[in-house]
Amino acid sequence: MSLKATPPERIKVKTAEAAKAERFNPRHRIYVRKTEGIWSQLRRRMGWVMIGLFLILPWLNWDARQAVLFDLGERKFHVFALTVWPQDLILLAFLFMMAAFALFFVTTFLGRVWCGYMCPQSVWTFIFIWFEEKIEGPRNKRMKLDQAPWDWNKLWRKSAKHGAWIAISLFTALTFISFFEPARNLYLDVFTGQASAGIYFWTAFFTLATYGNAGWMREIMCLHMCPYARFQSVMFDKDTFIVGYNAARGETRGPRGRKQDPKALGLGDCIDCSLCVQVCPTGIDIRNGLQYECINCGACIDACDDVMSKMNYAKGLISYTTERQLEGGRSKVGRPKLVGYGVAFGGILMAFLYMLMTLAPVQVDVLRDRNQLFRENRDGLIENVYTLKILNKTEQPQQFALAVEGLDTYQWQGPQSIEVKAGEVFTLPVSIAVDPVELDRPMRDITFIVADRQNGTEARAASRFISQM
């Protein structure tokens, strides 16, 4: 039997444009197969915890207000009993640094588990896939439905799926906005047409963003848009726990019957069923080695373990392991990079907690009179003029007593006891007069004190008293 050469005109070469078009063609998209197992259950439970916190927090109350509310209009963030003002935004910087080093530590130790178990993109994608399965059916039925011509069955299923996706996206958008606008007024205003144009804009924006990301883009976000996927390899080493395939045990791949001895057939434990690929949300083949697209969700582990059980083989052909273990070595936990990230995280955490515990309920700023450094009043005293700006960070009006340190004797011109409303910035001009005999140098460092005698708290602000040029 002779082989016939294919005529050149029938040879089809894929151009870069054609390959790109095929990659984003809906008919070639990833159809994720449902899987069950310990890691899938853990992922779902952690996802429910994240969703639960996201949905419940805007509806909790604290002292007759929303417990968690980032009020941008009033420029204050409420987190239960804590109120953070713009002057305290250094706390936000420390919070971001803590999150960064926590992510570095977890990634160095456990790989990209944040992406697989707690990332909102992954959590919402799995929610959308759940609705897709309930409406359109399992993986094989979804593939056939996409290939089938448009009829009533396809029309109503596709309409129901996208309707559910849009409803989830709208609810997600309103819940997210509820962290910035009071939740109890937001929903009523939006659905009665009383909300502002800005509210409607952001509702539409986050609805479309959620619908597009979790419904259509999915793995594209993880593969091409998420920066974490790009720099994670910097934190990986041979002792990082990853989802890995034991090639020494699995190769050579090939199908066989349950009762057949793979060794007699010259085969490894992998039966080449491709289930590990079908359940992967990013569509990779873990058997090709570590890839940056892997989000460490463990779905392929559950699928492979299920197949190994049915074949009466030992589980763990695909497992959470390290590169060193796959090479036959023993992993090291306490390595310098991991310890360094842990120490950095612990140090920033302690600094954050200290700043949080020492957060003063009152703040004072002092502005000197720029037009005249000092003057001599009609009594022959040297007088300096200041403007005090006193911020009451509490939710109740406070009574404050004012004083100054650094001068032995002085005359205070202006009130020394004031009441500042909740959240108010109280502006108070005062002047300090001192007998020239008491001044032994042309400039003295002084400190203004604003004290709440009832609560025993005070705030200090440094300034200077000038008597000579």
Using the predicted structure, report yes or no on whether residue 90 has a pLDDT greater than 90: no
Q: DSSP secondary structure string, 170-190?
A: HHHHHHHHTTTS-HHHHHHHH
219 and 258 in a common domain: yes
335 and 367 in a common domain: no
| Structural domains of the chain, count | 2
- Alpha-carbon span 251 to 248, nearest angstrom: 6
416 and 329 in a common domain: no
263 and 151 in a common domain: yes
Closest among 169, 172, 165, 159 to 131, alpha carbons compared: 165
Is 15 inside a domain boundary?
no
Residue 395: predicted pLDDT: 80
- Alpha-carbon span 310 to 415, nearest angstrom: 85
What average pLDDT score do residues 280-305 get?
A: 92
394 and 344 in a common domain: no
User: What is the crossing angle of helices 139-147 and 152-177, to 10°?
Assistant: 120
Range of the domain at 114: 29-359
211 and 310 in a common domain: yes
Q: Is 407 exposed, middle or buried (0-12, 13-18, 19+ CB in 10 A)?
A: middle
Q: 210-260 pLDDT, tens per residue? A: 999 999 998 888 888 888 877 777 888 899 999 999 999 999 999 999 989
303 and 157 in a common domain: yes
Q: 361-415 pLDDT, tens per residue? A: 898 999 998 888 889 888 899 999 999 999 998 888 899 999 999 998 899 999 9
Is 76 inside a domain boundary?
yes
Let me know how long the chain is.
469
Is 19 inside a domain boundary?
no
326 and 238 in a common domain: yes
Q: DSSP secondary structure string, 104-126?
A: HHHHHHH-SHHHHHT-HHHHHHH
367 and 352 in a common domain: no
Is 12 inside a domain boundary?
no
Residue 63 region, left (φ>0) first, then alpha (ψ -120 to 50), else beta? left
Reading the block at residue 460, the tokens are: 């200090």
State which H helix or E strand residue 387 sits in: strand 382-392
406 and 346 in a common domain: no
pTM comes to 0.81
Is 82 inside a domain boundary?
yes
